[in-house]
Each structure stands twice: as C-alpha cells, then as structure tokens.
Amino acid sequence: MKTAFLKTAFISLTVLAFISCSSDKEADPVIIIDPVVEADPLTTQNTATFMVDANATKETVALFYNLKRLAKTKTAIGQQDAFNSFYQDVGGDSDIKKNTGYDPAVLGSDFMFITDKNNNSQADNWYYQQEQKIVSDVKAAYAKGIINTFCWHLREPNKEESFYAADMTSEEKTTAFKSILPGGANNEWYKKKLDKIASVILNLKGSNGELIPVIFRPFHEFDGSWFWWGASFCTPEEYKQAFQFTVDYLKNTKGVQNILYAFSPDNSYTTEVNYLSRYPGDKYVDIIGMDNYGDFNNQGQTGSDKANAKLKILSDYAKAKVKIAALTETGYRVTSRTPAITDWFSTLLYNALTKNDIQISYVMFWNNNKDGYYVPTGSVSNAADFKTYSSKTKSALLNTLPKMYEMPK
C-alpha cells in the first residue's frame, strides 16, 4: 500500500509541475514503468528438460537443480580421493576434516582402477579391492549428503599400460583415439569398458535402494596433449563423436539414469569460441567445467584474475544455457621443496571464484599423498589460510551444504 501511495504521489506531482510550466498546451501524462525482472528459467518442475537425461532419477534431477541454485550463493569445496589419500599417509578423517572439523562437500573418484585390464573381480585382486573401496566411499559420501564426481584416467587401448601420450609410440598416438570410435578397431574394447562403468554406477545404491547420482567427467583436459585423447591426437569432430558416443551408450544402450555429464578442458582457452571448439553440444553436457592449475602456479593476483576471466566465460555460458559451471580440478601442491603461497586459498583462489558476479557450483582439489598436499591438514603452515577460505561467505563444506538430493519444498 505504501509503495502504491508513493507512486501515485510521484505521478501527481510530476504532472502538476509539467502543467504549471506549460500553460499554452496540454501536458502528456507521465507513466512510470517498474524495471522488468527476468524470471529464472529453471524451476523444480522443468529441471529435467535442461538435462542431458530427461528421464534421470529424481535424486539426479534434484542434484542438477540444487547445484545450479547453490552456485548463486556458494561454491562447494571438494577433494579427489578425500577419504583415502592423506598427507604423510596419516589416515582417519579426510585432511579437509582434520583442518576444519567438517567433511568436504564433494568427493572425487576415478574409474581408472575399476576399468583396468587387471581387475578380475576376485576378492584377492588388488584392482578389485580398489573398486570395492571406491564404491564404499561413494556410498558413504552419499549417505552424508556429499556430492560424488568421477573422472577417468583410461589406459590407452593397445597395451593398456598408461594414459600418458609420452608412454606411447608415434603410431599408437596417431591411431589410439580414432580406434575407439564407432567402426574403429577398438570400439568393442571401449564398449566393454563402458559396460563396466555402467555396471558399477547401476549398483551404487542408497539405504532405500535408490540409485546414487554421480557426475561423470570423461576425456578431461583434452586441449592439452599429455593424455592420449588430447588435441594433438584427434580432430575436434572426432573428440565430439567420442563424447557423444559415450553419453549415448551409457544413457540409451545401458539405461544408466543417474549421471550428470561434465565437459572440462584445461585452462588454455581465453574466449568462449575457443572453449567450445570441441564441445559436443548442450544435449550432451550438464556441467561446464575447467581444470586449472597453471594460472594459480605462482602467478599471484595476475593469475587469479586470468582464472576468474576464464571462469566468467563458463559462468556466463551456464547462465545463458541453464547449465552448471564448475572448477573441476585445481590446486597448488606443497612439498618439502615447494613452499606454500601466502593467502593462496583465502585471497587468490577465493577471488577467482567470486569476482565479477560469477556462479561456480563447486571446486575440486587434487589428492594429497605421502609427499605433498593440495589441501593443508591442521598442522602445516597454510592450514589457517585454508580454514579462513572454507569459512568465507561463498564457500561451502558439508556443514553448510543444502540437501542436494531432494527438491526444496
């Protein structure tokens, strides 16, 4: 009522002022138009229509919706192998929890050992034991409300010994990626690897028998040439075809309906056109990602600003296309020979994730190990820096994460 009264009074005063100054002609009426507020295209009812899988499980649809909503106010913090990889091999809670008292909001896992040629699914097999450990961790994370994401360091199809191009012959590098495409000599081999992934994902179930949603990020960092699926070893069209085949096979042939699909180059791009040069299309991607270590590697605020500009490209595209933007891998590894960078987390990274009105749903740090760490435990020099960063307004560990697998009431 008060607002309506003020508007009416403003119009009346304006009209009177106009009339008093224009005695020889009739005054035009003054019309006040409120600014147009654009409606958010994403609703709890239409979420599935923006997803790769329109028939995704309700928990997977809720995860998409909640990740998209979360990015408006917070960025979830995660780590690869958080429950199993510890600095100096000190077991127990994740290193994030050792530092902050809270679990990570995101757990990163890898299909590498699960699809390894040496995994024979026998109880005494080391690779199968790793599979069982990963499955157990994913289930435990889901039960706590943590987001699960998988990458895939797939061994090359010839000898299946490495995923690094440097370990391959020139001929192998030239032919390997093409060989897994439909009609290629190793397409059946590749389908068997996807069969294994489908089997594992379809057996990830919560306490009520519901399928656990996972983010799957195949063929990552493809703009570099350190992996055998890198830019030097396939054309943009071949890359797109492989990504599309992977999604179609899991979704349509295997009937997997609890995956969100992530697309993530490294940090080589500086424009949207460059970023999208190998993009398989909106029908095949839920999460617009980037891996970025280089811009944060002793480049100070200049590097932070470069990272922010690249994340803004992701964020703007995600806003326009109703996708989710994420920093799918990052970090600065501290070792006995590489000291920590002052305020790396609380200033450099945080600014990159929050400046210029960008919306980034989650950030993933790589794993800690015996000799070094990406996330400081509570006993190292930059522990306070990480704790400060994780408690900032736009950061989220599990304690400030909303219920990701339920639609808000």
Q: Examine the pLDDT at 25 and tell me if it is beyond 80.
A: no
Residues 6+ apart with CB under 8 A from 35: none
Regarding predicted confidence, which is higher, 367 or 12? 367
Kindly give, in sequence order, each residue whose CB lies less than 8 Å from that of residue 206, ignoring residues fewer than 6 positions away: 59, 139, 142, 143, 212
Q: pLDDT over 70 for what percent of the chain?
A: 91
Q: Distance (Å, rounded) from C-alpha 141 to C-alpha 249?
A: 27
Lowest mean pLDDT among 12-26, 176-190, 222-236: 12-26
Whether pLDDT at 11 is above 50: no
Provide the pLDDT for residue 33. Answer: 67
Which of 8-17, 160-169, 366-375 shows the lowest per-residue confidence on average (mean pLDDT)?
A: 8-17
| 329 pLDDT tier (thresholds 50, 70, 90) | very high
Beta-carbon contacts of 270 under 8 Å, excluding residues fewer than 6 positions away, are 309, 310
Cα–Cα distance for residue pair 93/96, rounded to 1 Å = 8
Closest CA to 398 of 47, 149, 143: 143
The answer to whether 152 and 180 are in contact (CB under 8 A) is no
Rounded to 5 degrees, φ, ψ at 288 are -95, 110
Domains of the chain: 1-37 (no CATH), 44-400 (3.20.20.80)
Of 24-33, 126-135, 279-288, minimum mean pLDDT range: 24-33
pTM value surpassing 0.85: yes
Q: How many whole angstroms separate alpha carbon 391 and alpha carbon 398?
A: 11
Judge whether 267 and 202 are in contact, CB under 8 Å.
no
Q: What's the pLDDT score for residue 16?
A: 37
Please give the pLDDT value at position 35: 61
Buried/exposed code over 200-237 (b: 16+ C-beta within 10 A; e: otherwise):
bbeebeeeeebbbbbbbbbbbbbbbeebbbbbebbeee
pLDDT value of residue 29: 64
| pLDDT tens readout for residues 306-323 | 999 999 999 999 999 999
Q: How confident is the model at residue 209 (pLDDT cuts 50, 70, 90)?
A: very high
Q: Does position 143 have pLDDT exceeding 60, yes or no?
A: yes
List, for residues 284-296, the tens digit of each pLDDT value: 999 999 999 999 9
Active site residues: 221, 329
Q: Which two tokens stand for residue 162?
A: 């490495």
What mean pLDDT value characterizes the chain? Answer: 93
Count of alpha carbons within 13 angstroms of residue 175, beta-carbon side: 9
Cβ(362)–Cβ(147) under 8 Å?
yes
Q: How confident is the model at residue 409 (pLDDT cuts 50, 70, 90)?
A: confident
Helix (H) or strand (E) holding 16: helix 2-20
Contacts 24+ apart (CB under 8 A), 173-181: 173/228, 173/232, 173/233, 174/233, 176/228, 176/233, 177/228, 177/229, 177/233, 177/234, 177/238, 177/239, 177/242, 178/234, 178/238, 180/242, 181/238, 181/241, 181/242, 181/245
Give me the pLDDT at residue 39, please: 77
Instruction: Give 40's pLDDT tier (boundaries 50, 70, 90).
Output: confident
Note the pLDDT of residue 2. 40
